[in-house]
Chains A and B, each alone.
Chain A
Amino acid sequence: TPTSLYPWIKAHDHSKQKEIADWLTMEIKDFVSYISPSKEEIMARNSVVKTLKQQIKVCWPDAEAHVFGSFATDLYLPGSDIDMVVVSKNGDCENRHKLYQLSSFLRSKKLAKDIEVIAGAKVPIIKFVDPKTNIHLDISFERTNGLDAARRIRKWLETTAGLRELVLVVKQFLRSRKLNNVHVGGLGGYATIILCYHFIKMHPRVSTENMTASENLGTLLIEFFELYGRNFSFDNLVIAFDGKTDSPKYLKKYKYPSLIASRNPFALVVQDPDDPGNNITRSSYNLRDIKKSFGGAFQLLVDRCYYLHSASYKKRIGQSILGDIIKYKGKER
């Protein structure tokens, strides 16, 4: 099969759409179904997780392994890692000796290759690759905050039409700009989901039930970049949720000095919905590039809309709107 820069537009031409926003909405849906895993890929991932859960139980009978992160919320992109956490009754799995015990057990059972035990880190983990599927896995220990987050995200996804599509497009955009890695100051998965959910819930036409987000993904995607790339005051505000009602709100930074660890006023602060004293984005120090990339995406998308709006039908055939902001080289399928 040939590869193309915009493989999702193959056989999905929307150039005859009257409204350019509807064209973009349809293209977003095509992109999401293109990057969604096939049945075989889902089965392969599930079986890797199932085997590991069983075998970790064999190694440590009083411990339980769980998945969290993008695997647990079905918000993963092709090639994403699987995140697991092992939680035990004694709470002693993080101990250095036990980490090496598990890693040699996994090696002996031929369940892991390229194993790295990172025992001295603030969050000790075992990183490895599944020998059959080449999927990368991270196992951490005794920390349940990832499980709380996954539960919350699944609830948001169930009640918020359009959230999954918006998150996947923004995630892929950040990945294509190499701004999705928190170890180099980028925006992590949970923070990306919170920004998208917060934006949708605050939108004047969504919060009043005047429109449905899943039918307006095109305009909403541009308006997401408009808010965080052009207008939002990162200097003044904290992105937060009401603890009781779970509704979105902004806090004024100067009133919450304990949340603001960084001296830099231009820092993204997202309050952890499960732990109000914790800033989820404290590692996302590269806000300047993140904001600039969102502003750039806004400009590229609207310029593309203006161009295609006045272009002849002949020139519109086979064109992509998303292609300017998402470089995704892949097989046509």
Chain B
Amino acid sequence: SNKARKKQYCRTCDLFNHDDDNCPNIWRSYLLNKQPQQHSLKDVQLPVIYCYNCGDSTHFGDECKEARTSRVPNLSGSAFSGSNLPQQLR
């Protein structure tokens, strides 16, 4: 119903599968290193990319297009997502 839907809205994520008080951003917060001035993408340490669902090394599991084998749904995203890379690598 419309009412239940309203209850399940998170303003931080703009998602309808959890509310503000159950937002992963409450615990998924990182203490980042002080980044040295990077002049080019060459100075950046490249990520290790492997998909937790299909094993491919072109994308992370959250962005996999293959059928998901785990029966537990992933509604709000996980750590293994392209959006969890440092800004300059996304």
A interface residues (Cβ-Cβ under 8 A, vs B): 19-22, 24, 201-205, 207-212, 215-216, 218-219, 222-223, 226-227, 229-237, 247-252, 295, 301-302, 305-306, 309-310
Contacts and interface: CB of A to CB of B under 8 A. Distances in A.
B64 to A, nearest CB: 9
B89 A208 contact: yes
Given A215-B31, A233-B54, A252-B55, 4 more contacts: A21-B31, A211-B31, A247-B48, A248-B50
Nearest to A265: B69
Interface in B20-49: 21-22, 24, 26-33, 35, 44-48
A252 B53 CA distance: 10
Interface of B: 21-22, 24, 26-33, 35, 44-48, 50-55, 57, 60-61, 68-70, 72, 74, 78-82, 84-86, 89
A229 B72 contact: yes
A21 B23 CA distance: 13
Nearest to B62: A231
B76 to A, nearest CB: 10
Contacts of B86: 205, 208, 210
Nearest to B54: A236
Contacts of B45: 207-209
Nearest to B70: A231
Chief secondary structure at chain B's binding surface:
loop
B35 to A, nearest CB: 8
Contact of A223 (B26, B79, B89): B79
Given A19-B29, A226-B78, A207 B55 contact: no
A50 B44 CA distance: 48
6 contacts: A20-B29, A205-B79, A208-B89, A222-B28, A230-B78, A232-B61
Contacts of A20: 26-27, 29
Contact of B84 (A205, A233, A236, A250): A205
